[in-house]
Structure 1
Amino acid sequence: MSPDDCKRLVAAIVEFLENELKRDGVTPDMAESIDVARQCLYMAYATTPEDVPSTQKKLIDIFVEACPAPPPAKELNDEEKAVAEKFKQEGNGHMREERYEEAISCYDKAIAVDSCNAVYYCNRAAAHTGRQKFDLSLRDCKKALEIDPQYSKAYSRMGLTYSKMEIYDEAIKCYEKALELDPNNEGYKKNMEIAQEKQKTQAPAGMPGMPSGMPGMPPGMGGIGNFLNNPMFMNMAKQVMENPQMQQMAMNLMGGLGGPPPGSDAGSSSQSVESGSGEAAANAAQPPQFSDIMQMGQQFAQQISETNPELVEQLRQQVQNSNTSNNTDSSDQPQS
């Protein structure tokens, strides 16, 4: 693409964004974000809508012509609706027995027959949550809300998923939205209270972007507090940290935090910096990288798993049982 063509394209995008700012239905938050995008493009490319040739089609017209809207979903007859419902009921039966893979297969078949039923997506989200496929669960909840924005159970199920991921601020937002749509639902209220309490007791992250769980541990294991409160885990962790390789990694990590590694001689460290090269001194002062912390966490988790896989599985079950007991409302069950 030539520079002139690139500039015309960006100018057309800026023109589209400016028209969006005038469109009815644009919220103040949307308008602010659109204006930021418009200004960024203007600053990066030094172009304005005036750079769009008068003979050029509007960007939105080009898009609609090249990508026409999909045809509306056909109206299902009673027989087709009955087939979809049969698949859904079979999926619900599998869910009661915690056969999540089979349930997902049934909900897939229901969606293949009726792709515009929000309940089918929401029920499949519950099955994905049972498999700890939280990203797929959130995707199905959002699809259900695209179909029916007033579907309170989809918001509640999204809240449950975020709670299992220990992202309590997002969980609370979802429960609040669910309660806006169904103010008298006691289950939604109870689950929001649980999320609020857990948010208060959740340990703050050590650094931005640090996951709340143990780095390298399998999904569904919860936050680090679940481990620190378990005597068997702490005893096993002590044994692992007696491994010379893990000790060396810990010493290197502590050295990067600005002080001498544990067990080292501060005097000799100072002497080595003075006699060493400037590059070595600079490297010694570098703070640890997040990748270093993650690597240590992953190796630690691997050794824990290899040392006592039975205990790791036991901890996983304890955390899952705790999560299950804390989710008290019927929204964690598929809708009939």
Structure 2
Amino acid sequence: MASDSSSSSKRKLIFSMLTFLNDEMNSDLVDSDAKESLEVATQCLENVYSVSLTNPEDRRHLFTPTSIQSIFEAYLVQHDKPTSPEDKAEAEKLKNEGNELMKVESYSEAVAKYTSAIEHDPRNAVYYSNRAAAHSKMGNHSQAIDDCEMALRIDDKYSKAHGRMGLAYTEMKEYAKAIEAYQKALEFDPSNESYKNNLKVAQDLAAKAASAPPSSGATLGGMDLGSLMGGAAGGGLGNILSNPEFMNMATKFMQNPQIMNAFSSAMQQNPGGSGSSGGTGDGEPPNMNAFLQMGQRLAEQIEREDPEQVARLREQFGGMRPPNPEDESEGGSA
């Protein structure tokens, strides 16, 4: 039994490492050569440990909600040497530079500044919270949640971290968690109108989701792709396909060989889900679950890589998005 437990923990660790490498490959901060190296590293780990990010069974049994980077940063917070006055001063300078970048919507550069600030002073909750705000602006909601969790490990009464966690959970359509986060934020900042409004939005969306029929689950910037495509009979699909921004974005991503490989793989899987080529060789239809999962990953990658264009499309097609908290970054410490 101990051996089985150790093996399971090791596979969860590898899955978390693969998730981290995948996030790095999709990051704007990594150049094309580095991305190729990361892809090779990913393939090696998958082959050695028989673990795959695209395997539904692995995703179900090996996924852990806290990222490996967040776990490591939590360890550093608890065990690192005390921060020197010089490091504190440099961290504050980097944070202020990140705040200025946020004002001009240079979000990836702001993430880099906040990350450098954290490296100089990993015990300051503000830096994690500000980085969470930048991640949310880029559509990296799971990374925003990781940063909010780190901030709350340092200061569990930090209302802004609770509020930003609520925003990220709302964007991910995890409304119950969003409601809980906003209620916590209001517990420590009861007069904050932004938290009250966002809590109401999350509660309304939760009620709407509870009464709505099930959908495909694939979303693009808060727009349900199943609902979006389901309007074909009423002319909705024609409107979408005639939109030049949508078509330019679709063309761009269909030229990506990784996306086309994922599409081909999804189409070749049969309903047995074992990865066989039943979709082409034995007459069985493609695995729809695999196809929808591929669509979900495509939607997430589109919003990660071009959040501004997604925002424009959301406005054109009426996607619903809750208001942001009033402040995106903070000038002082918590």
- The TM-score, its normalising length taken from structure 1, stands at 0.52
Change in 2 beyond 3 A, CA 1:125/1:329: closer
Per-residue deviation, residues 235-267 of structure 1 (Å, max 9, x unmatched):
26799xxxxxxxxxxxxxxxx9xxxxxxxxxxx
Q: Aligned match of 1:335 in 322, 330, 333?
A: 330
> 2:178 touches 2:202 (CA, 8 Å); kept in 1?
yes
Whole-Å separation in 2 of the counterparts to 1:178 and 1:130 = 20
Whole-Å separation in 2 of the counterparts to 1:299 and 1:188 = 33
2:175 partner amino acid = Y
Check if 1:222 corresponds to 2:229: no
For 1:81-230, what aligned pairs fall within 5 Å after superposition?
Answer: 81-202=88-209, 204=212, 206=214, 212-214=217-219, 219-224=220-225, 225=227
Q: How far off its partner does 1:221 sit?
A: 4.5
SS at 1:326's partner residue? coil
Whole-Å separation in 1 of the counterparts to 2:296 and 2:193 = 42
Whole-Å separation in 2 of the counterparts to 1:330 and 1:142 = 20
Change in 2 beyond 3 A, CA 1:138/1:185: same
Q: What is the aligned partner in structure 2 of residue 234 from structure 1?
A: 237
- The size of the alignment, in residue pairs, is 211
Whole-Å separation in 2 of the counterparts to 1:334 and 1:300 = 30
Per-residue deviation, residues 274-301 of structure 1 (Å, max 9, x unmatched):
xxxxxxxxxx9x9x99x42442685799
SS at 2:162's partner residue? helix
Larger radius of gyration: 1
Q: How far off its partner does 1:136 sit?
A: 1.0
Q: What is the aligned partner in structure 2 of residue 317 from structure 1?
A: 312
Whole-Å separation in 2 of the counterparts to 1:154 and 1:190 = 16
1:83 partner amino acid = E
Q: How far off its partner does 1:220 sit?
A: 2.1
Whole-Å separation in 1 of the counterparts to 2:137 and 2:109 = 12
SS at 1:140's partner residue? helix
Q: How far off its partner does 1:124 sit?
A: 0.5
Q: What is the aligned partner in structure 2 of residue 28 from structure 1?
A: none
RMSD of the TM alignment (CA)?
Answer: 4.2
Unmatched 5+ stretches in structure 1: 10-66, 240-255, 257-283, 303-311
Whole-Å separation in 1 of the counterparts to 2:96 and 2:150 = 20
> 2:228 touches 2:237 (CA, 8 Å); kept in 1?
no
SS at 1:330's partner residue? coil
Q: What is the aligned partner in structure 2 of residue 295 from structure 1?
A: 291
Whole-Å separation in 2 of the counterparts to 1:211 and 1:174 = 27
- The TM-score, its normalising length taken from structure 2, stands at 0.52
Change in 2 beyond 3 A, CA 1:75/1:237: closer
2:142 partner amino acid = D
> 1:121 touches 1:143 (CA, 8 Å); kept in 2?
yes
Whole-Å separation in 1 of the counterparts to 2:167 and 2:292 = 31
Unmatched 5+ stretches in structure 2: 7-74, 243-270, 272-282, 299-306
1:327 partner amino acid = P
> 1:155 touches 1:175 (CA, 8 Å); kept in 2?
yes
SS at 2:223's partner residue? coil
